[in-house]
Amino acid sequence: MKKMFLMLALALSSNQVFANDWEMLAKDGYAAIAKTKLTNRTFDGCEYDKVYQLDVGLYFKCTRYKYLYRYNPDVYILKHAIHDSDKVVIADEEFHGVLLR
């Protein structure tokens, strides 16, 4: 029983963006403005100041460490409806960083 609760707690504490997370992002004022891919196709996580080029001509610069390896993941760019803030979701996980032109 404890093992089941531990597995459930780990699943709920994950940074993956599931359907209800998209709903929460929408309630917080964020909307997806673009779906794209990485130009080099390989995502091997974020390290401070690491930069990825996106197929839409933008660059995503990481500001926090988070490891994840995916080949050719979907990348969603979300923008807040009122504030000038962006979010980036790669392979269904939110990553902290800035978008550059």
8-67 pLDDT, tens digit per residue, is 333 444 456 667 888 888 899 999 999 999 999 999 999 999 999 999 999 999 999 999
In a domain, 32, yes or no: yes
Residue with tokens 């963006």: 17
The pLDDT of residue 46: 97
- What's the total number of domains in the chain? 1
Instruction: Supply the range of the domain harboring residue 40.
Output: 24-100
In a domain, 34, yes or no: yes
Q: Is the pLDDT of residue 92 over 50?
A: yes
In a domain, 13, yes or no: no
51-76 pLDDT, tens digit per residue, is: 999 999 999 999 999 999 999 999 99
Provide the sign of the torsion angle of the four alpha carbons 27, 43, 66, 56, taken in this order.
negative
Q: What phi and psi, each to the nearest 5 degrees, are found at residue 78?
A: -115, 145
The pLDDT of residue 84: 86
Q: How far apart are CA 56 and CA 8, in angstroms?
A: 37
Are 39 and 56 in contact, with CB atoms under 8 Å apart?
Answer: no
Q: What is the dihedral of CA 88, 92, 94, 99, to 10 degrees?
A: -10
In a domain, 10, yes or no: no
Q: How far apart are CA 79 and CA 97, in angstroms?
A: 13
The pLDDT of residue 10: 38
